[in-house]
Amino acid sequence: ISKAPTSPGLHVVHIAAEMAPVAKVGGLGDVVTGLSKALQKKGHLVEIILPKYDCMQYDRVRDLRALDFEVESYFEGRLFKNKIWIGTIEGLPVYFIEPLHPDKFFWRGQFYGEHDDFKRFSFFSRAALELLLQAGKKPDIIHCHDWQTAFVAPLYWDLYAPKGLNSARICFTCHNFEYQGTAPASEMASCGLDVQQLNRPDRMQDNSSHERVNPIKGAVVFSNIVTTVSPTYAQEVRTAEGGRGLHTTLNLHSKKFIGILNGIDTDAWNPASDSFLEVQYSATDVLGKAENKSALRRQLGLSRANPRQPLVSCITRLVPQKGVHLIRHAMYRTMELGGQFILLGSSPILHIQREFEGIVSQFQNHDHVRLILKYDESLSHRIYAASDMFIIPSIFEPCGLTQMIAMRYGSIPIARKTGGLNDSVFDVDDDTVPLQFRNGFTFLNADEQKLGSSLFRRS
Ligand code: ADP
C-alpha cells in the first residue's frame, strides 16, 4: 500500500492592520502573529502585509529593507506610488506598505482613531492586493481581518480576480462586530469600488441606512469563508441583540460562517522562558511565581507585608465592552476583602480615561491599589506572572485572550460567561463540566453583586 503523498503546504497571505509585537492595539495583533506562526510550523508558506506605521516598534523587526520596486495603486482617480519594505517579525516574512501619498496615511503617531481611517485603510487594502498582483504572487488563501482590511474581499472579486490575481479564496475573520467601519456610500469610490453596484441591500449597503456602506457586511457577502473568534460569539452575533445590525446578513450566509476559538502563542506567552519576568517558572515549579509577585509589588510600590495577601489584576482596553464599571467595582471590593488590585489599561475614550485618572490620583501611593493607565507590553507580562487572580467582567467578549494568558501564567480567571469567555473559562463549581476542565470562576449577570460574590467565593 503506498502512502498518500504529503501535500505541499498552502500559500497563505494575511492582510491586517495589526501584528504583535510591532503594531498591536489588542487581541487582533496577537492572533495575526500567533496564527501565522502556527500555520508556518505546520509547513504552510505564510506572509503578512501591514501598513508601514511610523509608530511601529521597529526594534522588533529584523532585516528591514526597502525593495527596489514600487507598487502603483489607484486612489481617488489617480495612481500613487507605494514604497514596499520587507522584514522579519517572529520568524515571519512581512511586507510593509508605505504609501507615497500627500496625506501621509500611516505617519500619524497612532494606529487607529484618525478622522480619515476609512480612507487610510481602504487605500491600504487596495495597495496590498496591487502588491500581490504586481509581485506575481499566487496565494491559495488571502486572509483579511476586521473592517480595516474587509475591503479586500469585494476588491478581489470585482477588480483583482479579473486582472489575473485569481488563485486565491478569501477568508475573512471578524474579531469584533462592534467595529464595522461604516461610511457614506460615496466614500467607497475612492478605492475603486463601484458604488452603484455595491450599495445594494444584498451587498455592501448598511442594514440601517441606505446611504451608507458597511465594510464588514461586504466581507461577509464576498468572502468564501467568514470566521469569528469563538463558537459562543458566533451564536450571539446571529441574534438581534448581539449582531449589531448584521444578524440578518450572518444568518443569510450562515453556511460559510463559523466560530473558531482563538488560542494564544504559547512561545511568546511562556512563564518558563519569558525574559520580561523577574524569574522564570513553570507549572511544575511555581515557587518563582511568588518571587514575581514580590518583585512587582516592589516595582509598583505596593505593600509587601503579607506574601499571602491575594493579588487581583486586570489588563484591558478601557472601553464599555470590557465592563468598565465592574472593573471599578472589583477594585473596591478587592480592597474591602483585604486583597491588592492592579489595573493596566488605557482608554481611547476621553471621559473614561479622565474618570480613571481621577481614581489614580485618589489612590496615589496607596499600599494596596495601583492603576497604570498606559499600554506597556513588558509590565503586562510581569502582571500576568505576579497575579493570583485575574478579572475579565466583559459585557460582551468575542474571544478574549487575557483569560488564556492569565491561565498560562497560573493566575485564576474570574470572568463573565459571555462569548469566548464562555468557551474557555469553566467554573470550579459547575457540575455540568468534567472536573479536569474547570479552571476558574464565572458569573452570568453583569451586575456588581454577581462579580463581587465570585471574588469572595472559595473552592
Ligand atoms: P481586545 O482585542 O478586545 O483588546 P483581547 O483580550 O483579545 O482584547 O486582547 C488583549 C491583548 O492586549 C492582550 O494581549 C493584552 O495583554 C493586551 N493589552 C491590553 N491592554 C494592554 C495594556 N494597557 N498594556 C499592555 N498590553 C495590553
Grid cell digits, residue 437: 476542565
For ligand 1, is residue 112 a contact (CB within 6 Å)? Answer: no
Q: What CATH number has the domain bearing residue 371?
A: 3.40.50.2000
Residue 297 is assigned to a structural domain of this protein: yes
Atom of ligand 1 nearest to the CA of 344: 23
Domain count, the chain: 2
Residue 278 is assigned to a structural domain of this protein: no
Which pLDDT score, from 0 to 100, does residue 459 have?
A: 54
Other beta carbons less than 10 A from residue 183's beta carbon? 20
Same structural domain for residues 230 and 292? no
Q: Is the pLDDT of residue 1 over 70?
A: no
Using CA positions, which residue lies closest to atom 19 of ligand 1?
Answer: 316
Residue 281 is assigned to a structural domain of this protein: no
Which pLDDT score, from 0 to 100, does residue 346 have?
A: 94
Looking at residues 183-190, what average pLDDT do you find? 98
Same structural domain for residues 222 and 297? no
Query: CA 311 to CA 386: how far, in whole Å?
Result: 8
Which pLDDT score, from 0 to 100, does residue 49 have?
A: 99
Same structural domain for residues 79 and 180? yes
Same structural domain for residues 291 and 228? no
For ligand 1, is residue 134 a contact (CB within 6 Å)? Answer: no
Helix (H) or strand (E) holding 366: none
For ligand 1, is residue 353 a contact (CB within 6 Å)? Answer: no
pLDDT digits (tens, 9 = 90+) for 208-236: 999 999 999 999 999 999 999 999 999 99
Query: CA 175 to CA 142: how far, in whole Å?
Result: 16
Contact 440, 429 (CB under 8 A): no
pLDDT digits (tens, 9 = 90+) for 46-61: 999 999 999 999 999 9
Residue 158 Cα to ligand 1 middle (Å): 35
140: left (phi over 0), alpha (psi -120 to 50) or beta: alpha
Residue 5 is assigned to a structural domain of this protein: no
Residue 446 is assigned to a structural domain of this protein: yes
Provide the residue range defining the domain that includes 149.
11-259
For ligand 1, is residue 377 a contact (CB within 6 Å)? Answer: yes
Q: Quick one: how far is CA 384 from the chain centroid?
A: 18
Give the residue from 27, 47, 43 showing the smallest Cα distance to 268.
27
Which pLDDT score, from 0 to 100, does residue 446 have?
A: 79
For ligand 1, is residue 345 a contact (CB within 6 Å)? Answer: yes
Same structural domain for residues 308 and 198? no
Q: Is the pLDDT of residue 5 over 80?
A: no
Atom of ligand 1 nearest to the CA of 317: 20
Residue 271 is assigned to a structural domain of this protein: no
Residue 315 Cα to ligand 1 middle (Å): 6
* Residue 253: partners with Cβ closer than 8 Å, 6 or more residues away: 220, 221, 226
Which pLDDT score, from 0 to 100, does residue 205 have?
A: 98
Q: What was the ipTM of the complex prediction? A: 0.99
Grid cell digits, residue 215: 465594510
Residue 25 Cα to ligand 1 middle (Å): 7
Residue 316 Cα to ligand 1 middle (Å): 5
Q: Find cell 511568588 and name the residue.
A: 290
Residue 152 is assigned to a structural domain of this protein: yes
Which pLDDT score, from 0 to 100, does residue 12 have?
A: 98
Same structural domain for residues 243 and 342? no
Mean pLDDT rounded to a whole number for the chain: 96
Q: How sure is the predictor about 4, in pLDDT bands with cuts at 50, 70 and 90? A: low
Domain boundary among 259, 279, 302: 259
Same structural domain for residues 314 and 419? yes
Same structural domain for residues 217 and 303? no
Contact 172, 144 (CB under 8 A): yes
pLDDT digits (tens, 9 = 90+) for 354-375: 999 999 999 999 999 999 999 9
For ligand 1, is residue 346 a contact (CB within 6 Å)? Answer: yes
Same structural domain for residues 232 and 297? no
CB-hemisphere CA count at 13 Å for 323?
A: 27
Same structural domain for residues 339 and 244? no
Same structural domain for residues 166 and 297? no
Using CA positions, which residue lies closest to atom 14 of ligand 1?
Answer: 27
Residue 56 is assigned to a structural domain of this protein: yes
Residue 124 Cα to ligand 1 middle (Å): 24
Same structural domain for residues 76 and 190? yes
For ligand 1, is residue 380 a contact (CB within 6 Å)? Answer: yes
For ligand 1, is residue 400 a contact (CB within 6 Å)? Answer: yes
pLDDT digits (tens, 9 = 90+) for 141-159: 999 999 999 999 999 999 9
Q: How sure is the predictor about 453, in pLDDT bands with cuts at 50, 70 and 90? A: confident
Percentage, residues of the chain above pLDDT 90:
94
Grid cell digits, residue 272: 518558563
CB-hemisphere CA count at 13 Å for 411?
A: 33
For ligand 1, is residue 144 a contact (CB within 6 Å)? Answer: no
